[in-house]
Amino acid sequence: MEAYLVAIAIVAAIYVLLALGLNLQYGLTGIINFGHVGFFCVGAYTAALLAEKGWPPLLSFSAAAALAMLAAWPMGLISLKLREDYFAIVSLGFSEVVRLVVTSEKWLTSGVQGITGIPKLFGGLATGLPNSLAVLAVLVAVNLLAIAAMRRIVTSPFGRTIEAIRDNEEAVKALGKDPAAFKIQVLMLGAALAGVAGAFYAHYIGYISPDQFIPLVTFQIWMAIIMGGVGRISGALAGTFILMLFLEGSRFLRDIMPFISEVEMASVRLGVVGLALVLFTLYRPTGLMGDFTRK
């Protein structure tokens, strides 16, 4: 039971990192990023491949963040100058291109077979609970650091400007700032968080393949921040919690109803999360923690 709870906590912590990044991008700045999983994927593959080459985690994790940022940069440059609805489509396309690349560049990524045998972090510790607990501790520390940074950003002049961009881009221009420059920075910061999340994910699961990085992942994170409350750090946390509840809860459902097959269950799970989203938009449109207008 402990092992199970720790396992869920680790996955949740990885999701929180992703949600914090998306919250910075959408919740605070208004960037409609439908390609978050792309940065997650870049981070995961970078960490996995560098681990194979024997890089120490500190370096490979930094590289994962850096490469994810690097991937965000040209995308931002090209498309943040477009209208935001165009950016939504471009970002979705971006994450699919990333997936296509890791699928087809077999020499590097082994294509659909994926990369196996990615070493656990803290290989020195006994496998099982002690190891997982150490990983969880590091993840929690990284999350706390990210949250602290996020709070600083929110209360800084930079944070004020990005929230202003979210509320009215034209007015920000008239006040003398170029929104595109800020949006590129924010996109890159969020991508870095997703990259780190990807690195943790690769090492924790131990096996990555392209089919783990489908747009569904992006939408689950969107659901989390919408359910939790857009534009609020507590919302990202609460939303991830609710998401995990639904994802894991539906697993129990399967134990009660063994006649449902694994494939059917996947659809049921999606359906349940979708239903939750609908209920939230109907009865609590500002999310569990309320949205940014209710500070």
Partner 1 sequence: MKPEKKIEPGEQLLSVENVTLRFGGVKAITDVSFDIRKGEVRAIIGPNGAGKTSMLNVINGFYHPQEGRITYRGETRAKMRPHVAATQGIARTFQNVALFKGMSTLDNIMVGRTLKMHKSFFWQLFRHGPAMDEEIEHRKFVEEIIDFLEIEHIRKVPVGKLPYGLQKRVELGRALAMEPELLLLDEPMAGMNLEEKEDMCRFILDTKEQYGTTIALIEHDMGVVMDLSDRVVVLEYGIKIADGTPEEVKSNQKVIDAYLGVAH
x/- letters, 151..170, toward partner 1 (CB under 8 A): -xx-xxxx-xx-xx-xxx-x
For position 32 contacting partner 1 by CB under 8 A, the verdict is: no
Smallest separation, CB 232 to partner 1 (Å): 11
Alpha helix locations (H) across the chain?
A: 2-22, 36-52, 57-79, 84-104, 106-109, 129-155, 157-167, 169-174, 179-205, 215-228, 233-256, 262-283
Give the nearer residue to partner 1 in terms of CB position, either 30 or 210.
Answer: 30
Interatomic CA distance for residues 98 and 38, integer angstroms? 6
Q: Which two tokens stand for residue 278?
A: 């609908």
φ and ψ at 236, to 5 degrees? Answer: -60, -40
The 10 Å Cβ neighbour count of residue 185 is 17
Give the nearer residue to partner 1 in terms of CB position, either 110 or 234.
Answer: 234
Q: Kindly tell me which residue out of 52, 105, 178, 211 binds partner 1, with binding defined by CB under 8 A.
A: 178
Smallest separation, CB 192 to partner 1 (Å): 14
For position 242 contacting partner 1 by CB under 8 A, the verdict is: no
Give the nearer residue to partner 1 in terms of CB position, either 106 or 173.
Answer: 173
Residue in the structure block whose two tokens are 């990615």 = 118
Amino acid present at 96: E
Give the nearer residue to partner 1 in terms of CB position, either 115 or 172.
Answer: 172
Give the nearer residue to partner 1 in terms of CB position, either 73 or 241.
Answer: 73
CB-based contacts of 104, cutoff 8 Å, min separation 6: 111
Smallest separation, CB 289 to partner 1 (Å): 14
Interatomic CA distance for residues 27 and 10, integer angstroms? 24
Interatomic CA distance for residues 61 and 50, integer angstroms? 9
φ and ψ at 259, to 5 degrees? Answer: -70, -15
Q: Kindly tell me which residue out of 117, 124, 176, 258 binds partner 1, with binding defined by CB under 8 A.
A: 176
Cβ pair 225, 288 in contact under 8 A: no
By CB under 8 A, the count of residues binding partner 1 is 28
For position 113 contacting partner 1 by CB under 8 A, the verdict is: no
Give the nearer residue to partner 1 in terms of CB position, either 126 or 174.
Answer: 174
For position 83 contacting partner 1 by CB under 8 A, the verdict is: no
Smallest separation, CB 33 to partner 1 (Å): 19
Binding site for partner 1 (CB under 8 A): 149, 152-153, 155-158, 160-161, 163-164, 166-168, 170-178, 185, 231, 292-293, 295
